[in-house]
Amino acid sequence: MNLKAKKCLITGGAGFIGSHTVDALIKEGAEVVIVDNLSTGRKENLNSQAKFYEINIADPAIEKILEEEKPEIIYHFSFYVSVPKSVENPLLDMDNIIGSIRILKKVKEMGGIEKIIFSSSGFLYGNTKNLPTKETEPVDPFCPYIVAKHTVENYLRFYKKSFGIPYVILRYSTVYGPRQTSGAMADYVRKLSSGKQAKIWGDGNKTRDYVFIDDVVKANLLALNIPNNHPDPVFNVGTGIETTLNTLYKKIADLLNKKSQPIYLPDRPGELIKFCLDVSKAKKELGWEQKVKLDQGLKILLKSWN
């Protein structure tokens, strides 16, 4: 899709994935509007060429913003991202659901939306034994975060089926790269770079599928080319490669010339044990593939760390 002069509204545009996507959209000539409450997003991530509204998407004011800005494309990144905290307090995810419905309701009233791209999660498949996991795998609601993500996916399906609002769902694996402030990898880097050791819940043999931010942004833009009549516009974005937490920790420690002696703690409820996504559908239909390997991506991340 030619993005020159297209107006794009990005929820969570001051966050990790959102801000990188904003930069890419502006580079492609799009006019960008950011909505972010800065609960996890950061002001320093904001692109100066974008218009910025500091509000929670659950606030009714989001409807006025949509009416005023009249975006043609919406990227929906805004979401509370801590799985352990969502297990402790499922109410944390309610704003994400309410805000998503407000956006869809207003979009339906306004018309004119060419596409909504929703950042979902490969965690939806839960602790399946089918690895790498395809998009056809059943959803396993093993934690409130996943229940909330899947709820928004289903609202998108409802609004497409009932009102013709086109969408694409991207189910990311574990995204990493510059500007990342939350999650296990960021904690490992933060602790090790300051001469401390980080905590690992469990024995460190849990696996994740690490995909670099630049590759994710590429998928975000390619998603715009998916036809609006696509029967099932859901795509995994990952690498198909499992990496244990122990392996990741040692790679980071070695790159920082630190000892690898993580502090092991008892595992927590609502945890994913093994995780790896099949990305053959994205390769075939999006024309997307991973470019940045883990070792290269970690070097870029550590170089950007401050």
Cβ pair 95, 87 in contact under 8 A:
no
Rounded CA gap, 116 and 110, in Å?
14
**Residues comprising the chain, all counted:** 306
The catalytic residue among 80, 125, 145, 249 is 145
Q: Which two tokens stand for residue 145?
A: 């975060």
* Residue 192 CB-density burial (10 A; 0-12 exposed, 13-18 middle, 19+ buried): buried
Helices (H), 132-243: 144-163, 184-193, 213-222
Q: Which two tokens stand for residue 180?
A: 């990342």
Strand-pair partners of 168: 117
Q: Which two tokens stand for residue 240?
A: 């198909």
> Helix or strand or coil: residue 273?
coil
Dihedral of the CA atoms 132, 87, 197, 254 (nearest 10)? 20
User: In Å, what is the CA distance from 239 to each residue of 26, 132, 189, 221, 296?
Assistant: 27, 9, 21, 18, 14
Cβ pair 250, 192 in contact under 8 A:
no
Note if 80 is an active site residue. Answer: no
Give the residue numbers annotated as catalytic, written as ranges. Answer: 145
